[in-house]
Amino acid sequence: MGWGKYPISLGIVIFMTALICPFSSAESSYTSRLINQAEEVFFSEDVDSQRGEIEQPSTSNNLTFALNQIKSKLESIEPTSLDRLSDLLERPVELEKTFATDHFRLHYDLSGENAITHNEDLTFISDAGEICEACWSIYHTDQLWPEPLCDNGAGSDSLIDVYFINLGPNIFGYAMHEDIPGESGKTGFIVLNSDYRDNIHLAAGEALRTTIAHEYHHLIQFGFGYRPEANWFMEQLAMMEESVVFPEINDAQRYLPIYTHHPYRSLNLSNGSFEYGTWLWPLYLIENFGWPFIISVWERWAENDTLTMIDAFEETFDSSGSTLSDSILEWSVWNAFLGHRDDGAHYSQGSEITSLIQPEMTVTSYPSFDRHPGITRQIQDLAASYIEFTNQDNSADNTLTVSVSAGDNLENGHFIAWDHSGTLVENSDLDIKRGSISLTVYGWDKIETLWLVLTTGRSSTTTTDYRVEATTSYISDASVDIEHYNQNPLKLNNVPNPFQPYTKIFFSVETETHASLRIFDVEGRMIHQLVDAITTPGEHAVLWDGNDANGQQVSAGIFFCLLQTPDNQSRIRMIRMQ
């Protein structure tokens, strides 16, 4: 099926199988990994005994994706490679009994290896039929999705075919596409397990309901066509639909940490697990734009087989007067208001979403210099990073100054602040100039937590690194109210750099203002204050002789020079040589 009951990344499985099944070309190697991925689900004991490396339990994560890709590549696959999977790619043909509803025909057995073992009568099958019809009504009557394309009697008549066979424990089901001569859209069928008792997360009835809701939506998606690159959105959408159709089960919540703990990963990443956690994206779309918007994305994607799903999103946003980049930012901001931070202005059920965004870094002491995300957690394309600043030390400082420096792929920024009672006090977009943000917040003493939300666009850059600095200060004439300013950094540089033993520091201010020029070490300790006075407009220069405030020579190393005015700041990195 399209999802599994162990949130384990199939990237692990694919990597391990690649080690023992090398192939001569990238394409054949990728196809072989897909085959091994499917075999890992259905024949885990045999596969594990051949490998010896995989200790995780078998998973049906992304089974719809693997089987449908294999089917789309049949002409290039050696038939003997599919000995164990070939029957799974076609309709089961040996089931003796059928049960018809208005729109579905269910195929099943009451004896033999595919028997409906936990019900000897028709209760299970009739329940399944009612679930299918409930999904049909919601998808086509309420949400106005087009019906799946007719299979021209491939399953004996024009009804939608659902087959119940023995798939084994913890495999819930899958959907398969079928070609229609002369059509770009696909038809297909659904295969479900004949026994849902043997799973570790859901009751049998819950598993049956969510699986039908999920896999039937894949069948609707096949009507627009099938191209593997769209798998990420296929799974996001089908996962979200489970919660729409059966909100009382809401199994999708269990997958959310895959996203909320890794928001820096690309929106369109499909690795066998991440796409199941990012179902908040289609939820944001329907609550903000409505079902017709999502359907129009699929229609646009179907009209041009050279478009990727991301291309279709960009074109649909553009035609609606918005942009994909702006919507990525807005979605990322929405995701800051989950659980106890729900303010009633974002997700309609935001307070019930229990998995909260994990900030990439939390700054608790000031000044803080040269903070970076971990090398494996830099922001990917179409993704977000969250930086948290907390006011925990009961300092009298009433001003927070933050600067962020990143590459050109950093497209948007936003900041959110809550006071000590948890009340939202700021929620504003930020200007990004040349990949940098400079932010000064007055009233910092009234704020408990501040979040910066950074988002990226589409580019050839694999990841985006960034550097964060934050300082606090007390300004006697700072506004009593909480305010912020987002400006260009002040001009600041030093010559020479590196230096020994002296360096001259040049800075400029545009108007008469109070200026502070301080030297800090890499631990954030203030070494020396060179300027603390009302400063006239224009350029100024001051000599630093390498001494600290006590007149002692500092050791060789890296130092930071910080220039601050009431509404702006700049910082440079200096190196003192031996």
pLDDT given at position 46: 45
pLDDT given at position 218: 96
What is the C-alpha separation between 268 and 418, in angstroms, rounded? 31
Topology annotation, domain 492-576? Immunoglobulin-like (2.60.40)
Name the nearest CA neighbour of 206 among 144, 264, 252: 252
pLDDT in tens, 502-518: 999 999 998 899 999 99
> 62's torsion region: left (phi>0), alpha (psi -120 to 50) or beta?
left
Lowest mean pLDDT among 330-334, 340-344, 383-387: 340-344
pLDDT in tens, 422-446: 899 888 888 887 788 888 888 888 8
Which CATH entry fits the domain spanning 361-486: 2.40.30.10, 3.10.20.30, 2.60.120.380, 3.40.50.720? 2.60.120.380
* 236 φ, ψ (degrees, to nearest 5): -55, -45
pLDDT given at position 271: 87
- Position 42 confidence tier, pLDDT thresholds 50, 70, 90: low
CA angle 163, 119, 132 (to 5 degrees): 40
Domain ranges for the chain: 225-342, 361-486, 492-576
**Mean pLDDT score of the chain:** 84
What pTM did the predictor assign? 0.79
Whether residue 87 has pLDDT greater than 80: no
What is the C-alpha separation between 575 and 578, in angstroms, rounded? 10
Amino acid symbol at 167: L
pLDDT given at position 572: 83
* 466 φ, ψ (degrees, to nearest 5): -150, 160
pLDDT in tens, 136-165: 999 999 999 999 998 888 887 889 999 999
Whether residue 124 has pLDDT greater than 60: yes
Q: What is the percent of the chain where pLDDT is above 90? A: 50
The DSSP element (H or E) to which 192 belongs, if any, is strand 187-193
